[in-house]
Structure 1
């Protein structure tokens, strides 16, 4: 072999080695960069924190319309309807005897649905009766689909319930409304997704328990260990967990816009309305809160007494409106470190935001995220103090708190009143639950650092927090990274569609269940 050939081979070898080294360096830096973004507190580097593929997206329907510029203006022949729930009331103080209520999400842009009546049929095995259900909507104008309740009256001892459109009937599963409640005050908590903030959950669960309320919480997806903790609290009587479904059109049969993308905040208004319809005949008061909205009564030892006193000042009032004051707090990283005295001592106060409401359920048939659009504002009681303590700003003791720089809120010394006797009682109740064998077993696996909270917060900040809405607000366009070391429980169900019909095609689900294979998504 000549020297010239040898030189050419040497140059090739050097080039190949250089490329290999560069590729290796780029791979290492990309992997390291990914781990920095998605760093796990317990496994900050390495394969355990690796981002993985999630559940494959379902095939795109031939009927799906996706043109963004047309989502609020295009009129299509069929308005698609997703029935989230339906209830039957043998007796009702506000709806009358043998009442039914359909809790739905309806395409509202093809024609005016604000006062539409829906045809339905009720049967009890021996008698069948047709009826008309009068509707009431809680729309957000930037969203195509509107939360809707339609209500009417039917046969006694209802066994079968159908919705009818264009001569086509679809049987809709229904539930009996509740006539007893665990407590006279029910706190309805809006749907949780990629939930991981167990520290806030403990604060709210024990506070509500201390003041005589039962929590009814809606969940779409939740970190597995946190889910197990919540289930144990359900077994201990603190709360009821309700599966909340993503909307799916199994066989649409005609053109439609994707319902989750075009419904406000995972149909939060629909979930709160479901809670209202469930407890309408059972509870004395229903509060519509987020999980991070915590209320400490000021003048009485229970919520029931506090609300009674407020309503006594204006007996015909339709709701109590509590302003929400933003708060940050330092959260414990482990259950062993969780100390309620320390949590309260770390609270800092900011400005007051849009409030949340407490209602007498017989005066309402629907609600919205903050208060019903159908309510006369002059009949509300605005509570000056106390405020809801809105603990939306958790600070990690030792983690990366870069998200704090994005809050653009000023916090100062805690400026709400929590009586020391209440703090001590709640602290003792938490200590008691720490000794629960199942809680102790779960505690070791609870997340100690944030992962999904900053992902969602940054996305919301980019899309609609603090700015004029230009699209339907929700998390559908937020990218949820999937990680090997974070497993979630997610709701799922069997989905069905009625025959394609005009003006409405109805969709519904049955047999909801928890899936550990779905992934960590909204």
Structure 2
């Protein structure tokens, strides 16, 4: 009998030991899981923290109303906004109240990420919220309580027809007039209407570009949030937006010209696409999309080039600049051209907003590419050369020149005519670059040299000193905040205007 009780006692000890070991193992597993999630969260811009957060912020940039569109049902409104990269996983819709003469109607606007990629290396990304509203609404407002709300500032898309529109990425601290003046002349010559987004630019260059009738310039502000917010008081959303909120600007431009342009291009100011299949962009793109009938978007691979120019406005020549092109044999990400009725949003190198049945295709580099004017050399007297051969892979397989000399001569002539009418402004352009070397050094460090891959990269990480006495055109903006939407603080851009400064350019 005694032996029996001893066995029972030992059994209980084994059970207790087993239970202790089991709880210890579970604790270790839980600790490892939490540690792993913490490491993952830190490595992926706090994506888990943002997902479990109770409240969120959104910043509304624009609301475009399409009464009759080739892309949307009648009376569709499209809200463009920024928020954390997991916002669409937490909120599938935005609640909009449409006030009409017949009463109010509640509408669910479906949310679509512009960058449908998780995890993304920037915490904040652009979104579209799309909904069909009653005919002739008096106003639209974001609201979850049926009473008050954030009234949306409605705008209409542009109606003036264009064969091709070039929507350029936002420019800041811009002073490289040798580049921008050639950009305007080349794209205009081949039949594109140019739309620029500007955050800051030296005033003389701004005035010179603005004077061109084939150009439109919109102010592109940095983002601001009010005191009522979900984020911490010290958080600056601009540090977590990819390259000055570039995808938002590109999508904003797409929405503006969606029903008035046959084709829309999305280059940087230092990317040059020169037609090869036709005399104009229109002819080029018609033929290319015929080659790729299922394409809603075409990507032109970017090929690196070296160019030569002068620091003196009086010796400057667009033809000389184009003639100096030297290929480096290096290719990078593509630049997009889209059929706007087939695409609802665009990212820098890819569109996730294609209509059903359409895809993005890459143009073979032997056929054409976007020439990236990446490496600059300056000389006192630039030479007039013949048009260089198109040789992006340094293989001399293509027996054709980058451009026709007759086109280069026409570009030069149009440039001189434009400058003749604006000579006083042109003569004041600087011979010394202040901002460009600083930005180039910064971008080489944070982008081209691929350091800190996991961090969001943009000009906010560049150390730019003030230049007192430098005339610049900057952007002044105003945002308003609404705090009563359920679990979301709404900040909306209500104005963005250009203002001149005598104390340099701002980011």
For 1:127 and 1:451, locate their aligned partners in 2 and report how far apart those are by CA, in whole Å: 57
Q: 1:111 to 1:124 in 2, by over 3 A?
A: closer
Match of 1:470 among 454, 464, 473: 454
Match of 1:323 among 293, 296, 301: 301
For 2:206 and 2:395, locate their aligned partners in 1 and report how far apart those are by CA, in whole Å: 33
Match of 2:56 among 61, 64, 79: 79
For 1:356 and 1:377, locate their aligned partners in 2 and report how far apart those are by CA, in whole Å: 18
For 1:219 and 1:328, locate their aligned partners in 2 and report how far apart those are by CA, in whole Å: 25
Tell me the equivalent position of 1:373. Answer: 352
Tell me the equivalent position of 1:12. Answer: none
For 1:319 and 1:341, locate their aligned partners in 2 and report how far apart those are by CA, in whole Å: 30
Alignment check: 8 A CA contact 2:306 2:325 kept: yes
Tell me the equivalent position of 2:203. Answer: 224
Q: Shift of the alpha carbon at 1:116?
A: 1.8
For 1:463 and 1:223, locate their aligned partners in 2 and report how far apart those are by CA, in whole Å: 24
Tell me the equivalent position of 2:372. Answer: 390
Q: Shift of the alpha carbon at 1:110?
A: 6.4
Q: Which has the higher contact order (CA 8 A, sep 6+)?
A: 1
Q: SS of 1:355's equivalent?
A: strand
For 2:348 and 2:199, locate their aligned partners in 1 and report how far apart those are by CA, in whole Å: 17
Where does the alignment leave 5 or more consecutive residues of structure 1 unmatched?
A: 1-66, 400-409
Greater mean alpha carbon deviation, residues 103-112 or residues 487-496: 103-112
Tell me the equivalent position of 2:487. Answer: 503
Tell me the equivalent position of 1:457. Answer: 440
Q: 1:315 to 1:514 in 2, by over 3 A?
A: same
Tell me the equivalent position of 2:166. Answer: 187
For 2:325 and 2:393, locate their aligned partners in 1 and report how far apart those are by CA, in whole Å: 9
Tell me the equivalent position of 2:286. Answer: 308
1:135 and 2:111 correspond:
yes
Tell me the equivalent position of 1:358. Answer: 337
Q: SS of 1:261's equivalent?
A: helix
Tell me the equivalent position of 2:387. Answer: none
Tell me the equivalent position of 1:492. Answer: 476
Tell me the equivalent position of 1:54. Answer: none
Q: SS of 2:425's equivalent?
A: helix
For 1:509 and 1:318, locate their aligned partners in 2 and report how far apart those are by CA, in whole Å: 31
Match of 1:246 among 205, 222, 230: 222
Q: SS of 2:458's equivalent?
A: coil
Tell me the equivalent position of 2:67. Answer: 90
Tell me the equivalent position of 1:346. Answer: 324
Superposed CA offset, 1:195-234 (max 9, x none): 011111111111111111100110001111111112212x
For 1:413 and 1:427, locate their aligned partners in 2 and report how far apart those are by CA, in whole Å: 30
Alignment check: 8 A CA contact 1:186 1:215 kept: yes
For 1:175 and 1:230, locate their aligned partners in 2 and report how far apart those are by CA, in whole Å: 25
Tell me the equivalent position of 1:516. Answer: 500
Greater mean alpha carbon deviation, residues 267-276 or residues 448-457: 448-457
Q: 1:352 to 1:255 in 2, by over 3 A?
A: closer
Q: Shift of the alpha carbon at 1:313?
A: 2.1
Structure showing greater radius of gyration is 2
1:119 and 2:95 correspond:
yes
Tell me the equivalent position of 2:194. Answer: 215
What TM-score, normalized by structure 1, do the two folds share?
0.79
Equivalences, count:
439
What TM-score, normalized by structure 2, do the two folds share?
0.81
For 2:124 and 2:272, locate their aligned partners in 1 and report how far apart those are by CA, in whole Å: 30
Tell me the equivalent position of 2:10. Answer: none
Q: Shift of the alpha carbon at 1:251?
A: 2.8
Match of 1:151 among 124, 127, 130: 130
For 1:338 and 1:279, locate their aligned partners in 2 and report how far apart those are by CA, in whole Å: 33
Alignment check: 8 A CA contact 2:264 2:340 kept: yes
Tell me the equivalent position of 2:25. Answer: none
For 2:376 and 2:137, locate their aligned partners in 1 and report how far apart those are by CA, in whole Å: 48
Q: Shift of the alpha carbon at 1:109?
A: 4.2
What is the root-mean-square deviation in Å for CA atoms of aligned residues? 2.6
Tell me the equivalent position of 1:163. Answer: 142
For 2:222 and 2:165, locate their aligned partners in 1 and report how far apart those are by CA, in whole Å: 24
Q: 1:119 to 1:246 in 2, by over 3 A?
A: same
For 1:176 and 1:471, locate their aligned partners in 2 and report how far apart those are by CA, in whole Å: 36
Alignment check: 8 A CA contact 2:470 2:504 kept: no
Alignment check: 8 A CA contact 2:125 2:241 kept: yes
Alignment check: 8 A CA contact 1:341 1:423 kept: yes
For 1:153 and 1:175, locate their aligned partners in 2 and report how far apart those are by CA, in whole Å: 15
Where does the alignment leave 5 or more consecutive residues of structure 2 unmatched?
A: 1-41, 382-391
For 1:70 and 1:365, locate their aligned partners in 2 and report how far apart those are by CA, in whole Å: 27
Tell me the equivalent position of 2:418. Answer: 433
- 1:263-342 correspondence runs (5 A): 263-342=241-320
